[in-house]
Structure 1
Amino acid sequence: MEDGTADDYLESIATFKRHVHDSLTDHLFGLLRSMEGPRFGYQVDRYRHSLQSASRALRNGEDTEMVVAALLHDVGDMVAPANHSAVAADIIKPYVSDRTHWIIRHHGVFQGYYYFHHLGGDRDAREAFREHQWFD
């Protein structure tokens, strides 16, 4: 790396960015497909859950940004289960509004209302965000 010139690095970065741009959709759908299969005790696998979430957002009249965010909200599950919300939010951050990013980043603590108390956690952890403009 020490022998690289500014031009070398500019070209490398430009090539990488073009590749990411051209293959982003394939990579994201690959992450979605990787969640297909095991249900881990749930009624549907994570892939179908994601499709259901996006379908519900669409039926609810949400805009395209929120429908796509709903589709991708759990893509961090298989690589970072402890902070999957943050992973998914950071993946979509360059493409969505601050509001959508915040919702996806915090959805884990909101869903925790239904099960944190069964695992020794605080089911009301989401209340820390009660005064936030996007809580509801």
Structure 2
Amino acid sequence: YVNRSVRWHSVHMYRLVMQIAMTAIALNLVILLGAIVVAAIAIFLLKTQGLEEINKATTVFPASLDSINYSEIPIAIIAVIADYVQIPLAEVKAEYEKDATQRKLLVLQAFRDDPVTRHFIEHFPSKFINHGYVGEELLTRK
């Protein structure tokens, strides 16, 4: 009688342990599937956001190329054009001096104004930010 009771108790404990193990496996599978779904959603969102950033860049780059092209006009040509349209050289000089104080703002208008861009401009200023337009020093006598 005692042996049968021990055997019944062992079988009952075995079934209980198996039930707990199966529950743990099922719970782990549910958590794993949930993690896979969350990871897939995160990857989808990151890809969409990345595509949005690329699309934004494609609208900004042509504008910056225009500004690069126009910034390369030699000062002598600007002076000749100003003289032709009867703008005094002093007025042209004043515009260049005004632009000198707003160069960082000009760069921030061409690119996105965020902390990373501002940090980059502060620590790694471009030739344009430091010296201005090509030949500007001839007009402003820096």
Q: TM-score range by the shorter chain?
A: under 0.3
Q: Which has the higher contact order (CA 8 A, sep 6+)?
A: 2
Task: Give the TM-score normalised by the residue count of structure 1.
Answer: 0.27
* Greater helix content: 2
Task: Give the TM-score normalised by the residue count of structure 2.
Answer: 0.27
